[in-house]
Amino acid sequence: MLDFEYTISTKIFFGKNKTMKLGNELNHYTKRMLLVYGGGSIKQSGIYDSVHKIIREHNITCKELSGVQPNPRISSVRNGIKLCRQNGLDFILAVGGGSVIDCAKAIAAGVPYDGDPWDLFLQGDSKIKRAIPIGTILTIAGTGSEMNGNAVITNEETAEKLAIHSDLIRPKFSILDPTNTFTVPKEQTAAGTVDIMSHIFEQYFSLTKGAFIQDRLAESMLSSCIHYGPIVMNEPENYEARANLMWTSSLALNGLLSYGKITDWATHAMEHALSAMYDVTHGVGLAIIIPHWMEYVLNDTNAYKFADYAKNVWGFTESDDMSLAKESIEKTKEFVRQLDMPTTLRDVGVNKHKLTEMAKKSVPFGDIGKFKKLNERDVLTILKNAF
């Protein structure tokens, strides 16, 4: 295990009716805030009204940025920054999924930044010196954005999708009420489940030795997705299943699994290129790419890691590492099919002639992946296999 410093600072309110904690939290931070949300699901579910009631009761001035799209755009970020500056807003409440939360984080970092916010994505995290505080009410399990310092934004003019990372944009608090996810449609539930699993894979498939506790935690989290994902597909209002998926999503990408390890992140780089070019749902893109990444990177040196996955997550026994590894990849494919997800790039409308450009966009800052380093040619092969 490598050395690390632990900073998971987000305060979590988990459980039914925890939105009632919002007023108290807002009182700590603001009298003038920006509310950020997406395309309207929070109005249909009634969360929007509950939030406004609390805001009114606490005499907080509130401006709104609505219509944040899945795969959030830099233009929404620019609009949010303008609203904050023009109205002297000093706090952002994001109510929604990863897209809404990431947009709020980018606004938070952009308000005190003296330049265009896209610079922050191009020039690296050290550019982020300050950010205004944010809080979240999560409505879909998947990204873990509610408890981490990452934001992923698409530049619609250049068809690039890039990330920033900073503890300065970790939410100060997040309200996680699993009942708020009861209305998430099947396709998004499946996509969220695969996204959670992908975050675990990115950190689990590592060559760092001796991180026993991180690896066993990762396996439990994978088991949680494999157990509860299919249940929630058939029973959208199953509280236990929604609750376990929600908490797994937060734990899977808040730092817990990556502290003390070198982590991979190649499938995310590829998927971000895919969703930048085709506006595909993030978890759907991952579901297509992951099995092909697994098949491509598997070799005699790293098969032991896949064998652990086969034994400790899928319950296989009694075989050599390479056979176990191959079985685990088959099981992963089968699981994706069980969730009724697309399995090829062709299925989501990708044009074969765009794969070269997609491979190039997957490596914007050079080779990707630490479990197995991949260059542009490797990526192109994986994408062709996934086509």
Q: How far is the CB of 145 from ligand NZQ (least distance, A)?
A: 3
Site for Zn ion contains 264 (CB under 5 A): no
Binding footprint of ligand NZQ on the chain (CB under 6 A): 38-42, 45, 70-72, 96-100, 102, 139-140, 142-145, 148, 150-152, 180-181, 183-184, 188, 192, 195, 253, 268, 282-283
The answer to whether 318 touches 324, Cβ cutoff 8 Å, is: no
- Picked from ligand NZQ, Zn ion, none, the partner binding residue 146 (CB below 5 to 8 A depending on kind) is none
**Measured CA angle at 228 (ends 294, 138), to 5 deg:** 95
Question: Which residue of this chain has its Cβ atom nearest to Zn ion in the complex?
Answer: 195
Binding mask 168-197 for Zn ion (x = CB under 5 A): ---------------------------x--
Residues 195-234 that bind Zn ion (CB under 5 A): 195
Cβ nearer to Zn ion, comparing 286 with 383: 286
- Which two three-digit tokens encode residue 66? 């609505």
**Strands 134-138 vs 91-96: parallel, antiparallel or unpaired:** parallel
Q: How far is the CB of 304 from ligand NZQ (least distance, A)?
A: 26
**272 Cβ partners below 8 Å, 6+ apart?**
152, 161, 162, 163, 362
Q: How far is the CB of 236 from ligand NZQ (least distance, A)?
A: 10
Residue 196's CB is within 10 A of a number of other CB atoms, namely: 28
Cβ nearer to ligand NZQ, comparing 40 with 210: 40
Burial (CB < 10 A; 0-12, 13-18, 19+), residue 353, is: exposed
Q: How far is the CB of 69 from Zn ion (least distance, A)?
A: 17
The single residue listed with the structure tokens 């929630």 is: 232
Round to whole Å and give the CA distance between 288 and 333.
9
- Picked from ligand NZQ, Zn ion, none, the partner binding residue 254 (CB below 5 to 8 A depending on kind) is none
The answer to whether 42 touches 69, Cβ cutoff 8 Å, is: no
- Picked from ligand NZQ, Zn ion, none, the partner binding residue 350 (CB below 5 to 8 A depending on kind) is none
Q: Residues in the site for Zn ion, rule: CB under 5 A?
A: 195
